[in-house]
Amino acid sequence: MKSTLTAGVLAACVGLLVSQTAHADAIKVSMTVDNAYALFVGNRSAATTFVGSDGNWPSVESYSFNLARDAYLYVVTASDLTQAQGFLGQFENQTSGYKFYSQNPQWQVMSTGLGPNAPYTGSAADLQLLSNEIQDANGGGNPSQGWRSFTAGGANGSSPWGAMSGIDSLASWVWYAAGSCNRNNPTLGGCDAGEWLVFRIAVAATPDNPIPDNPISSTVPEPTSFALAGLGLALAAALRRKKV
């Protein structure tokens, strides 16, 4: 019984180790922004790859990736500060079958206060500028004093945008309720939330753990070292049992 249990624990630990070190999730993001955005892939502290940009709010764009569990998606946005502004999107982890929307707490937003000229070219200079802003926000030293939550406005289909095909009607338009924006619904009425804004989502984000990089939990071991520690404990337990 004991050896079977130990073998099971060992197998589970090895399985966890393999899944955490070699696993990549198939991710599909469908989105649009009023007025414009640029999409980047990176990690917790930097944007490393420019994916693309779009400045046409009535079109929904879809992007598919195979991303490691510690990867992040970053969305840099620009607003013309008139009439309305918003982000509408859905995030599908096709590996785990998990799907959620722009108004869910897995998304975060921060303001740079640098004005309307967001970095859109994907040049090395843009990646460096965006990475600097990400690190400022991680340290709480940016205008929004860290990463914040969105505030939801109307659902997909609501005025003034109408229905956006390619995104479920369960999704809502969201924006950052700060600066001159209406705190109850920052998507309506032209306003400046501290442009330009950066949105992000961690591939590993879940409803129970929407902010896996929360500084409060930064003392928790990384998944890989945690798995290794678990493996070591299981081995130690197995050795102890052999002695007895």
Nearest by Cα to 25 from 94, 90, 73: 94
Quick check: 192 binds Ca ion (CB under 5 A)? Answer: no
Quick check: 35 binds Ca ion (CB under 5 A)? Answer: yes
Quick check: 85 binds Ca ion (CB under 5 A)? Answer: yes
Q: Which segment (76-84, 87-95, 124-132, 198-206) binds Ca ion by CB under 5 A?
A: 76-84
Query: Cα separation of 63 and 153, whole Å?
Result: 24
Is 163 buried (19+), middle (13-18) or exposed (0-12) by CB count in 10 A? exposed
Quick check: 112 binds Ca ion (CB under 5 A)? Answer: no
- If the CB atoms of residues 36 and 47 are measured against Ca ion, the closer one turns out to be 36
Out of 54, 70, 92, 192, the only residue in the binding site for Ca ion (CB under 5 A) is 54
Query: Closest approach of Cβ 61 to Ca ion, in Å?
Result: 5
Query: Closest approach of Cβ 113 to Ca ion, in Å?
Result: 18
Is 187 buried (19+), middle (13-18) or exposed (0-12) by CB count in 10 A? buried
- If the CB atoms of residues 34 and 195 are measured against Ca ion, the closer one turns out to be 34
CA angle at 82 for the pair 86 and 63, rounded to the nearest 5°: 30
Q: Which segment (49-57, 170-178, 180-188, 220-228) binds Ca ion by CB under 5 A?
A: 49-57
Nearest by Cα to 35 from 74, 71, 82, 73: 82
Quick check: 180 binds Ca ion (CB under 5 A)? Answer: no
Is 218 buried (19+), middle (13-18) or exposed (0-12) by CB count in 10 A? exposed
Cα-Cα-Cα-Cα torsion 109, 195, 72, 157, nearest 10 degrees, comes to 70
Out of 5, 18, 21, 80, the only residue in the binding site for Ca ion (CB under 5 A) is 80
Query: Closest approach of Cβ 25 to Ca ion, in Å?
Result: 24
Query: Closest approach of Cβ 227 to Ca ion, in Å?
Result: 40
* Chain residues in the site for Ca ion (CB under 5 A): 32, 34-35, 54, 56, 59, 80, 85
